[in-house]
Amino acid sequence: MSSPSENSLKIGIIGFGPFAQFLVKTMIKQGHFIRATSRSDYTDLCNQLGISFFRDMNEFFESDNDVILLCTSILSLSHVIKSLPLDCFKKPALFVDVLSVKEYPRDLMLQCFTTQGCKMMEMTCEEHDRLSSRSQFLTHTIGRVLAEMEIEPTPIDTKGFQKLIEVKESTSRDSFDLFSGLFIHNRFAKQQAWFGSTCIIWYISEFTNLMNTNNTQLRNLELAFETIKEQLVKRMNEGLDPS
């Protein structure tokens, strides 16, 4: 059996019938962390396999999964999807189905997520990572830099500053694992980070020259970027799964 590694995933299985039981043996060998839920009670079997079984679907959804594997029967999928407590999601997860038909689950899932207010977009993995390095990773980085600078609302905040406070607060609620994952496993984010830090250093030195002074705020900004960079590099060098 493989020990957990940085490639180990937290996989939540919905529907623990014969096919899921077959798949799970390989996943355990590969070092993934498995938890399952099903209509029937598989607590004893899961205990034997050394994995968690949740009778309660809400608790299952709160159990922090990277991947949700739908392994129910074709005929029950519609019912199962409609009963998912999507509000209990703690973080984004990849939904995968193993059904022996493909258009049917795709249409059901698109329908379900659309009614939850999600806009579905088709794109390649490369396109996704390229775009998210410019949006998601950049937002998280700026938010963490602002947190590091300990920016707080003031009585004379501009709209722009209020938005910065919002970015700081929303990114501070996310885990450092999420932030470092966005960097470590997205090659475009690494390019973005290099470009971003080059720009910041350039701006700081230009401003410093222009003002002919060692401005405290600029110095704080530079230090905050340095701190975030060091934390990311440290996390990357550790290369370990936190679980």
Q: What residues line the site for ligand NAP (CB under 6 A)?
A: 15-20, 38-40, 71-74, 76, 79-80, 98-100
With vertex at residue 227, the alpha carbon angle to CA 238 and CA 237, rounded to the nearest 5 degrees, is 15
**To the nearest whole angstrom, how small is the minimum distance from the Cβ of residue 188 to ligand NAP?**
34
Nearer to ligand NAP, 43 or 198 (CB): 43
Which tokens in the block code for residue 158?
Answer: 């501009």
**To the nearest whole angstrom, how small is the minimum distance from the Cβ of residue 101 to ligand NAP?**
7
Please enumerate in sequence order all residues whose Cβ is within 8 A of that of 72, keeping only pairs 6 or more positions apart, or say none.
14, 15, 17, 80
**To the nearest whole angstrom, how small is the minimum distance from the Cβ of residue 15 to ligand NAP?**
3
Cβ(44)–Cβ(110) below 8 Å: no
Letter for the amino acid at 19?
F
Cβ(138)–Cβ(197) below 8 Å: no
Q: Could you tell me which of 146, 181, 185 has the C-alpha nearest to residue 162?
A: 146
Nearer to ligand NAP, 39 or 128 (CB): 39
**To the nearest whole angstrom, how small is the minimum distance from the Cβ of residue 42 to ligand NAP?**
7
Cβ(71)–Cβ(48) below 8 Å: no
**To the nearest whole angstrom, how small is the minimum distance from the Cβ of residue 84 to ligand NAP?**
11
Letter for the amino acid at 107?
D
